[in-house]
Structure 1
Amino acid sequence: MTKNALITGISGQDGSYLAELLLDKGYNVYGLLRRLSSPNTSRIDHIIDSVELVQGDLSDQSSLDEAIRISEPDEVYNLAAQSFVGTSWNQPVHTADVTGIGVVRVLEAVRHFAPSARTYQASSSEMFGKVQETPQTEQTKFYPRSPYGFAKVFGYWACVNYRESYDMHISNGILFNHESPRRGIEFVTRKITDGVARIKNGLSDELRLGNLDARRDWGYAGDYVEAMWSMLQQGKPGDYVIATGETHSVQEFVELAFSRAGLDWEKYVVVDPKFVRPAEVQLLLGDPSKAKEVLGWKPKIKFKELVEMMVDADLKRFEGPKQ
């Protein structure tokens, strides 16, 4: 029997990779897409004829109810959010509404219109923020350091409460940083690889960044969506840290990216205080032992491969005549 899946945030990095995965597995895939004057579907244009897009917004309950009624899902993947930490400082109320309360709206829609559906919630390593122990596990206490982080904590606990109160199959994936050539340009990793490509092609002569000492556990988004799917195939719901178990600094990312293009990073990178956040998260390092043991999941793409993949993709974008 063919399964139906509804993905909120289908046009984002993770949504596009997840849609590809589910289509390959024979699912009917529905995607929630906000109504915009110019919808950005560039990440899913290659599969857009294979999915059914439904208009909706995490800030609007009736649209979510309708999306559930239309898709009749066996599985719901809530990936939609205001997902940029930097923006959350400028738009804290909007972030709280969409990234936090939006989760409750999704859960309410599922509870009333598809109570037997299995639900995945995109939780985040940013919930750990000012880390209380290293590495971080499913038992590590949360200490968020941004409006995005505390909105994600709200969403996480909403899922736990709905799971325990209504016996719903809801799993939280506590995903550490995961990147790809489809990463938004506002994220530091993509900002770096795009900057490298621009400098290589003579379109820029510097790259301005914030804290080069911040360390993150970086993996490949294409690997991480497999973990999302695996969580909903388990007999019992649960919460899982999804990470590589390795940490690297922003400077390491910079060095590898510039080296891939044959450039000396120190000639081009400028540290700009305006890109340093009000409350910085200095170190994130996940322990994916539970995911490996229960889900049989482990990352395939290594850090160096990931950086080079992203640089190569951005260099390719700028091939041809100088602009």
Structure 2
Amino acid sequence: MSSKSALITGITGQDGSYLAELLLTKGYQVFGLVRRSSSGNSSRISHFSDDIKILSGDLLDQCSLMDAIIEAQPDEIYNLASQSYIPTSWTQPSLTAEYTALGVSRLLESIRRCKPDAKFYQASSSEVFGQPDESPQTERTAFRPRNPYGVAKAYAHWMSVNYRQQYNLYTCCGITYTHESPRRGAEFVFRKITRAAALVKLGLLNELKLGNLDAKRDWCYAKDAVYAMWLMLQQQEADDYIIASGETHSVRELVECAFSCVNLNWEDYVSVDPAFYRPDEPVQLMGCIDKIRNQLGWQPQHSFQELVELMVEHDLKALQDQP
């Protein structure tokens, strides 16, 4: 078992909670950075909260980041915290920039000053590609972000690369494509659909309104994604990798698969509402995983259908267990 320690920002989120679980199984001492004023949902970590240590800190406050790093003395630091909901990035672009972009600068500078030998993982995003001029995208595809979230992630990505080059810090960027799980927020379309299928099955919903059914996404399982994050920091040299499934599926396929899991015809319950169309609908965002597969031996362990099935089953059980 490992005797390493790790500090995770965004530990109460989907990825942070799965990553903490993974590190605990590997014998890590796990620290989680949480805003003292945060009213966020801690249910994702409640079942192992006694096994980790929560530190107070905020990506807006560099002193708190330095204090947390000094206290934890982590071998590895995973930055999974950000304002990550794209519609919110349009209504709160400055806040998105402060957390998702400048917050990373503060964290990198804190590492440089307080723990320069720590290995750092930055959660980058396929949104940095925006409307790419090639598909699938590789680690060399040009960044062309088309929303404030993507712009902020591009800044954070390049700052991480620059600190690696300028200060010889071990910094890695994982360009993650959309990844899902039962811990995904209900505002995201994948979870919205799997939960709706369960609600319809139980007679609690009659209609599901969606936007563009022909929109395609590269979806993978969050548990597979966080394993890739950990794997990246176990290498001798730091590098950047795309974390994706390497294939796309349409929202229509997702709906059909989710409703078939509960033996229903989706066309009887789903309607299209133009109000749900995204104005910046991404153009064939699909990641090429050749580099991470060839160099690190990583590839997704769960298929698209398996992911849909496990999420529908989870939502169905969760709703049935409610009073």
Query: Residue 218 of structure 2 aligns with which residue?
Result: 217
Distance 1:184 1:320, change over 3 A: closer
Corresponding residue for residue 18 of structure 1: 19
Amino acid at match of 2:291: K
Listed as ranges, the gaps of 5+ residues in structure 2 are none
Q: Which residue of 2 aligns with 1:33?
A: 34
Query: Aligned to 1:306, what secondary structure does the other structure show?
Result: helix
**Equivalents in 1 of 2:321, 2:239: separation in Å?**
49
Q: Which residue of structure 2 aligns with residue 231 of structure 1?
A: 232
Number of the residue aligned with 1:103: 104
Give 1:320 deviation, angstroms. 5.0
Question: TM-score scaled by structure 1?
Answer: 0.97
Per-residue deviation, 1:37: 6.0
CA contact (8 A) 1:124 1:174 kept: yes
Alpha-carbon distance between aligned partners in 1 of 2:18 and 2:228, rounded to the nearest angstrom: 12
Counterparts of residues 1-323 of structure 1 (less than 5 Å)? 2-36=3-37, 38-320=39-321
Secondary structure at 2:252 match in 1? helix
2: CA distance, partners of 1:196 / 1:34: 35
Q: What is the root-mean-square deviation of aligned Cα atoms in Å?
A: 1.3
Which portions of structure 1, spanning 4 or more consecutive aligned residues, are displaced by more than 4 angstroms?
Answer: none
Aligned partner of residue 212 in structure 1, secondary structure: coil
Structure 1 distance, partners of 2:40, 2:96, is: 20
Partner SS, residue 245 of structure 2: coil
Contact 1:128 1:143 in 2 (8 A): yes
Deviations 1:120-149 (A, max 9, x none): 000011111101101100000111121111
Say if 1:145 and 1:280, in contact at 8 Å, map to a contact too: no
Give TM-score, length-normalised by structure 2. 0.97
- Asked whether the equivalents of residues 132 and 143 of structure 1 are also in contact (C-alpha less than 8 Å), the reply is no
Displacement, 1:197? Answer: 1.5
How far residue 277 of structure 1 moved from its aligned partner, in angstroms, is: 2.2
- Tell me if the contact between 1:213 and 1:282 (Cα under 8 Å) persists in the aligned partners: no
SS at match of 2:121: strand
Letter in 2 for 1:292: R
Deviations 1:182-223 (A, max 9, x none): 111111100111111222222221112122111111111101
What per-residue deviation string (whole Å, max 9, x for no partner) do you get for residues 78-106 of structure 1? 00001111221111111111111111111
In 2, the alpha carbon distance for the partners of 1:80 and 1:39 equals: 12
SS at match of 2:8: strand
- Taking the aligned partners of 1:227 and 1:320, their CA distance within structure 2 comes to 33
- Give ranges in structure 1 of 5+ residues lacking alignment: none
Count residues in correspondence.
Answer: 322
Amino acid at match of 1:294: Q
